[in-house]
């Protein structure tokens, strides 16, 4: 059962606050961050009869863990619109080794929660999991990345795996189906979503920065504006409501040659 390395998990948490570097590896590495070399079930297994599947609700996607990534030479593209997503394959599970450590979106993994990991679903997502071997089903909240063994499509928390009777066999044939909960009108009015801008460059020469502003606006198909600060003019792109889109545009800006460009939260 492969997982993200601790460095990548730590990066995902910090991504909510700053810009870091990504490093990926499998859980088979001898990472001293974990007290256990191999994953195991709890020393004293508990009954999960009282634990119910999670109740799906609307949640905005997290800032961390939703960026496309590459692991062991293979690229993974995070699904932007998971509505109607279904998948069949094998489920595995992860437990005590990762208990208390960070998930890919910066939360803390609790093996007694009804959670799971998936390679490409946006975080968090709600998924109905059906064990095709015995017909048992439950709902989990996906907040992590993995598994990366061939044929495995979802890594279940210990509690979810116990609920579906996967612990004894280690793996099971499952079908997963994404559950979409739309944001209600009242939520839309009550929530104040952050907006982001990208600062590309600053210059005291207004005519030059205006020319650059027009060029980048046309090339990247984004809105641009200037912000006068003392005797300089800052070239800004945006605003953007979606953090993922902001990061995508930032990557394009840096590829063009503006390596010092950065994201600002409004």
Q: What is the pLDDT of residues 212-243, one digit of tens each?
A: 999 999 999 999 999 988 888 999 999 998 88
- Same-domain check for residues 227 and 173: no
Interhelix angle 243-256/206-220, rounded to 10 degrees, is 120
Nearest-CA neighbor of 48 among 116, 111, 134, 131?
Answer: 111
**Are 102 and 146 within one domain?**
yes
Predicted model pTM: 0.58
**CA 243 – CA 67 distance, rounded (Å):** 10
In this structure, what CATH number is given to the domain that contains residue 205?
Answer: 3.30.70.1070
* Boundary (domain end) residue, out of 130, 157, 183: 183
CA distance 46 to 63: 33
Q: Are residues 169 and 221 in the same domain?
A: no
- Note whether 179 and 196 are same-domain residues: no
Q: Are residues 166 and 46 in the same domain?
A: yes
| Per-residue pLDDT tens digits for 105-150 | 888 888 888 999 999 999 999 999 999 999 999 999 999 999 999 8
Q: Which domain holds residue 114?
A: 6-183
- Which of 163, 183, 203 lies at the terminal end of a domain, its last residue? 183
Number of structural domains the chain divides into:
2
59: left (phi over 0), alpha (psi -120 to 50) or beta: beta
129, 151, 183: which is the final residue of a domain? 183
CA–CA distances in Å: residue 183 to residues 54, 57, 65, 86: 18, 9, 21, 22
Q: Is residue 1 part of a domain?
A: no
Interacting residues of 151 by C-beta distance below 8 A, sequence separation 6+: 89, 90
Cβ-based neighbours of 202, under 8 Å, separated by 6 or more: 209, 229, 232, 233, 234, 235
122 and 208 assigned to the same domain: no
- In this predicted model, which residue has the larger pLDDT, 35 or 46? 46
What is the tens place of the pLDDT at every residue in 85-99? Answer: 999 999 999 977 777
CATH of the domain at 43: 2.40.40.10
pLDDT at 16 over 60: no
Q: Report phi then psi at 8, rounded to 5.
A: -70, -40
pLDDT in tens, 148-196: 998 999 999 999 999 999 998 999 999 999 999 987 766 665 556 778 8
């Amino acid at each position: 059962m492969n997982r993200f390395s601790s460095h990548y998990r730590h990066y995902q948490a910090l991504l909510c606050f700053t810009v870091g570097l990504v490093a990926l590896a499998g859980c088979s590495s001898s990472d001293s961050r974990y007290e256990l070399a191999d994953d195991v079930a709890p020393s004293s297994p508990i009954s999960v009869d009282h634990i119910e599947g999670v109740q799906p609700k609307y949640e905005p996607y997290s800032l961390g863990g939703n960026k496309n990534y590459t692991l062991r030479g293979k690229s993974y593209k995070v699904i932007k619109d998971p509505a109607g997503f279904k998948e069949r394959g094998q489920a595995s599970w992860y437990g005590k080794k990762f208990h208390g450590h960070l998930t890919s979106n910066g939360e803390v993994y609790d093996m007694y929660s009804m959670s799971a990991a998936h390679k490409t679903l946006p975080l968090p997502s709600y998924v109905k999991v059906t064990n095709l071997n015995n017909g048992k089903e439950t709902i989990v909240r996906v907040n992590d990345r993995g598994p990366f063994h061939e044929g495995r499509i979802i890594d279940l928390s210990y509690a979810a795996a116990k609920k579906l009777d996967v612990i004894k066999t280690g793996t099971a044939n499952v079908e997963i189906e994404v559950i979409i909960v739309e944001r209600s009108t009242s939520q839309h009015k009550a929530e104040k979503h952050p907006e982001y801008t990208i600062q590309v460059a600053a210059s005291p020469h207004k005519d030059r920065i205006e020319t650059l502003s027009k060029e980048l606006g046309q090339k990247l198909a984004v809105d641009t504006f200037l912000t006068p600060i003392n005797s300089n003019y800052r070239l800004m792109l945006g605003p953007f409501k979606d953090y993922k889109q902001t990061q995508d545009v930032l990557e394009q800006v840096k590829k063009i040659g503006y390596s010092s460009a950065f994201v600002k939260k409004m």
